[in-house]
A and B are shown apart, each in its own frame.
Chain A
């Protein structure tokens, strides 16, 4: 899984986008000047695409693709090294009886568990992602957020999932949010940065679009919907808006950025609806783990169950997939 995304290709950035971040007023003007999002319209479009009927070979392909895009996640106060190792084992061999099952994209843990995860996944090709920056609330100082990021990166995290300062965003202090993302991005070094917008707290689709562009302007490699700790977490319409944002970003800059819906995606049926949205809203080239991820835990087992159903030709049951 090599990085095809590039955020350092600044020369490609068109002038209006460079101007957008010149100062606080420019950024504000740019974000508030983005075209509005009509709620009814975007929800209808999402529901409409949700009626796509994905069958047979397409479904097989979609299930395997979805498995390969899972960021298998455990983010609990009760996490232990044992739990993380178990998750890592599952990530590498999701279905031990079916060796042709793809491995997942990454294991996502808290910073203090990164070392354990890195050790357990060594040589597997599965990345280690770490949440950071005072996840999930992010209500802490810049200093601690940077230290949090550094702990994760130093322990070997390939990817960092940061949270934006929603309070600052809702107060209209866009430049503060922008600079913080930039600072964390710098602290990430070679690690990829996913920027969690926590769309459930942004409340409007207009805000989701603004936050998406803000994160893209600041250099986020991925924009991610949610921490999973706030309801609603990922929804199809929100993901549509974010997919549209990375599509438009690509049209304007030639750069490819990724999207990660997280939280609340539990079934294969849901996952396939997201893949259809990726396909038809962002475009075919986003259908790779480098550019689209699912932040999930229980989704993986449903994907494995449905995979067996597709391969075996009869329904499987929860006792036939592993539970850790």
Chain B
């Protein structure tokens, strides 16, 4: 019986809800953990970063103004659609990370559950992190968290899906928008995830995913005047101080991240969510 020739997928970037090739026209070969060729990935450039930031900024007013309930529904929808493509992700994670199917399965399941976890946060963040302030005077004062804006994320180089979800989902949960540079060597789950995002009611531009090199693209994100925060997780240890210094020029919120990639299967917490929030305090007099 002759084998059917399969139809290979072209992996592209995800910017503004569309799947363009890199404006640079560059690609790079992606192999599995054993060195077998899997696909050519788009090799994103400085200008792709620029386009992605424009898309993220354009999407910010709508996404941040959506009700928390609506954002929760959208993130939960991501989990639903991801669950529907579970097998595909297991295969890609397994190939990318060189893991046995069983291990890849548990990572994909954890990634799905992570979306559910963050989906549940959207309409609770304000009541957990906000406050009514008992100020000493005839004023009503309260403090509420608001999303910071556009977040540049250098996704972890090791964990191709779970780690990516753990750095992306909290950005979206707060109402911020993201420009993500995926793992360079393991980019395929990231692009398949962007297909999930594109079909999950996530508005175009809210999440933008670029495949390429953190070392090349990171400085452009760190120095960009229209990026409000930076997660340097995927940057090489030696590159991080430089990125942080660049980020200081526009007073970006820079995440403090562990030197080595953490165990992403550990229970999630609110650290990243907090980082992407601004606290706004409102005062109003009381009187007849």
A and B touch in the complex (CB under 8 A): no
Chain A residues with CB under 8 Å of chain B are none
Chain B residues with CB under 8 Å of chain A are none
